[in-house]
Homo-oligomer: A and B are copies of this chain.
């Protein structure tokens, strides 16, 4: 925003978290946890698959070639963060994307990568 050749560095008195309106540490922590959950190739793949179809654990396992246990652990994390939802259908646990935010997150990120 400043195009002058010399930056003016604010001092300690001028700078404080509050002036810049940072989110509360509670919100920040939750955001971290969400991004944490998106940093894994397995979980990212799960979300891509679920954004096309609701799928059960076995189907995710077959599609991704990852062990049932690993898929299940991944789904637990995504569930806890409300990024996916489950409904029990007989012996199957059918998973789906929780809401549009989740799709937006992976779409925006994919755009950023593709537009390099």
Q: Name A residues whose Cβ lies closer than 8 Å to a Cβ of B.
A: 1-2, 4-7, 9-12, 15-17, 20-23, 25, 27-32, 34-36, 38-41, 44-45, 48-49, 52-54, 56, 58-59, 62-64, 82, 89-90, 92, 94, 96, 99, 101-102, 104-106, 108-116
Contact = CB atoms under 8 A, between A and B. Distances in A.
Contacts of A25: 41
Contact of A63 (B17, B27, B90, B94): B17
A113 B102 CA distance: 11
B49 A7 contact: no
B114 A99 contact: no
This protein's copies in its complex: 2
A101 B109 contact: yes
A9 B44 contact: no
A14 to B, nearest CB: 8
B113 A9 contact: no
B7 A92 contact: yes
Contact of A28 (B7, B36, B44, B90): B44
> Counting chain B CB atoms within 10 Å of each CB, which of A31, A59, A82, A111 scores highest?
A31
Q: Which 8 A-B pairs have the closest CB atoms?
A: A35-B38, A101-B112, A7-B89, A7-B92, A36-B39, A35-B39, A30-B113, A15-B62
